[in-house]
Amino acid sequence: MLTFIGILLLIFALVMVFVYPMLRKEDGKDRYGDKISAAPKILLMWNTRMRMMVSLIGFLFIVLGQSIMFAKEGHQYYVLDQFFGRRYAITTPGLKMIMPLSRVQEWSKYMEVKAVPINQSGLITEDISGIEGVIPGGVKVMFIDRATAEVYISARFEIPNEEGAFIKLVETYKTPENLVNNTLLPTINEQLTNVSFMYSADDYVSGAATDYKMTIEDALKNGGFVVKKVEVRDTLFVEESFIVDSLVSKKPRQIREIRTFVKNEKIFENGVPKRNPHEINVNKVITAQVIVSDVRLEEQFTKKLTQQRDISAEKIIEIQKIETARAAQQRIVAEGERDKAAERVEQEKAQVAKLISIETQVKEEESKRQLAEIAVKTAELNSKAVKINSDAEAYANRNLVSAGLTPQERAEWDYKTAIGVAMELKDLKLPQTYISGSGGNNGSNLLEQLIGAEMAKSMLNKK
């Protein structure tokens, strides 16, 4: 802007050199007799001194315009001082002072490389504005099992921030387009090809996709891998199931196919992969971001995957049917065992009820028998007690009789005997007629006998 203003001022001063004499041309005199000009007075002021001042100001503006530059954010500048031949870099944004007439080359700090899809006519179907490197149709790669694919990758690179590396990069490639076309794109193709030959397409679709993408990112950021060729044998097995006597069984695994191929494996030194630096690393360009958005396998391999998927689905269905039949079989067996267990429990419950009834009767009979024994023993004890008491009384009576009575007891006994005899005689009813035997004392003897019998009877009743 300053340069433009300065150039305008110089042009104006130069024009006034030729225009000013014409403006001083006399057109007439005023009422006082002075010469007048048809030009405005402000133009008549641009004499030689004014023109020199304007020219100096314009020159200063041009010098300032060439000495001051504004460095934009996200850009770096290569500056060549054409007076002294000095080269330096501007890597920070803001107003910067440079030597006038220096050659300044602007580089974007970040460069985008992206693989974009194309339609059947070969035309790009995405917006590629702001992308320095475009790969139409993706990067063509081949896996170790000869399956081809198109890898759609998006990478972002950062040019070196260090002044010496940046100057060397600019002097080597001259323009950002040369860096993208001669280094970034070929290196991406090379590393994708090398990494892809470390995997098989079957591995990729079987779960190694994440590892494959991470390996590509690692190779672009830290350098290519040093690899060795290794022969790999891939053995495929077949498992079959069959039913015998309502039981599902499996045959031993059988080898269906053995595939042999050569793959590249990393070489490790002290647990670290050995690497070969590529052009991106050599030029100290930083790989800021790598995204593998899609890997489109070839159509034939896709068809093969579809067939394998269908076969696998059918196999899964058959396996599920076998498992279902096995589960049904186990369910039937389990239900039978359950019913048998339930029947066994019912029978055992009935048997236990009978046993409990029998045991109850046995216990009742046992209780009755024990009660009868107790009653017998009680009767025996009672009879023994009566006998003992009788024996004791008889023994006491015998002892009393044998020991004899005291005079007082004999007197009491005689008294009671006399009273008893009197009472018995009073109530005694003798037969009115009796027959006496021969002899003179038969009558008295009979009376005595009757009295004695009655007294003995009363004494027994008292006892």
Query: How distant, in Å, are the alpha carbons of 6, 140, 152, 244, 249 from that of 61?
Result: 5, 55, 51, 103, 97
Amino acid 17 reads V
Instruction: Please name the amino acid found at residue 67.
Output: S
pLDDT for position 334? 83
Residue 323 is predicted with a pLDDT of 80
What stretches of 24-103 show up as alpha helix (H) in DSSP?
41-44, 48-67
Structural domain harbouring 100: 2-105
pLDDT at 49: 67
- In terms of Cα–Cα distance, which of 294, 275, 76 is closest to 191? 275
Sign for the pseudo-dihedral over CA of 278, 279, 284, 286 = negative
Does residue 131 form part of some domain? yes
Q: For residue 359, what pLDDT is reported?
A: 86
Task: Give the pLDDT of the chain (463 residues) as one tens digit per residue.
Answer: 666 676 676 676 666 666 655 555 544 444 444 444 444 544 545 556 676 777 777 777 676 767 778 888 889 999 988 778 888 889 888 888 787 778 888 999 999 999 999 888 878 888 888 888 999 989 999 988 888 899 999 999 999 989 999 999 999 999 999 999 999 999 999 999 999 888 888 888 888 888 999 999 999 999 888 888 777 776 665 655 544 444 545 556 666 666 676 777 888 888 888 888 899 999 999 999 999 988 888 888 777 777 777 777 777 787 788 888 888 888 888 888 888 888 888 888 888 888 888 888 888 888 888 888 888 888 888 888 878 877 777 776 666 666 555 666 667 766 776 676 566 656 655 454 444 444 444 444 555 565 665 665 555 555 4
Q: Select from 232, 266, 297 the last residue of a domain.
A: 297
Residue in 254, 260, 228 with CA at minimum distance from that of residue 240:
254
The answer on 159 and 224 residing in a single domain is yes
Query: Based on the domain organization, do 143 and 73 belong to the same domain?
Result: no
Tell me whether residue 305 is in a domain.
no
CATH number, domain of 191, equals: 3.30.479.30
Closest CA to 224 of 212, 234, 216, 232: 216
311 inside domain = no
Domain match, 385 and 447 both: no
Q: Quick check: is 383 in a domain?
A: yes
Please indicate, yes or no, whether residues 243 and 207 belong to a single structural domain of this protein. yes
The verdict on 352 and 281 lying in the same domain is no
54 CB burial (10 A radius; 0-12, 13-18, 19+): middle
Burial level of 285, CB count in 10 A (0-12/13-18/19+)?
buried
Q: Are residues 217 and 352 in the same domain?
A: no
307 occurs within a structural domain: no
Q: How far apart are CA 84 and CA 305, in angstroms?
A: 67
**Do the domain assignments include residue 123?**
yes
CA distance 94 to 68: 10
Instruction: Return the pLDDT at 86.
Output: 87
Together in a domain, 278 and 376: no
**Do residues 18 and 52 both lie within one domain?**
yes
Q: What share of the chain is helix, strand, coil (3-state, %, to 5)?
A: 55, 25, 20
- Residue 304 falls inside a structural domain: no
Secondary element (H or E) of residue 24? none
CA dist 264 and 229 (Å) reads: 5
Q: Are 321 and 358 contained in the same domain?
A: yes
Q: Let me know if residue 302 belongs to a domain.
A: no
Specify whether the CB–CB gap between 291 and 115 falls below 8 A.
no
Assess whether 380 and 343 both reside in one domain: yes
Domains of the chain: total: 4
Residue 422: the pLDDT is 66
Burial class (CB in 10 A: 0-12, 13-18, 19+), 215: buried
**The domain boundary residue, chosen from 45, 78, 105:** 105
CA dihedral 115, 117, 123, 125 (to 10 degrees): -100
Phi, psi of 236 (to 5 degrees): -105, 130
Tell me, yes or no, whether 129 and 246 share the same domain. yes
221 and 328 together in one domain:
no
Of 404, 429, 453, the residue at which a domain comes to its end is 404
CA distances from residue 74 to 94, 354, 364 in whole angstroms, order as listed: 11, 100, 110
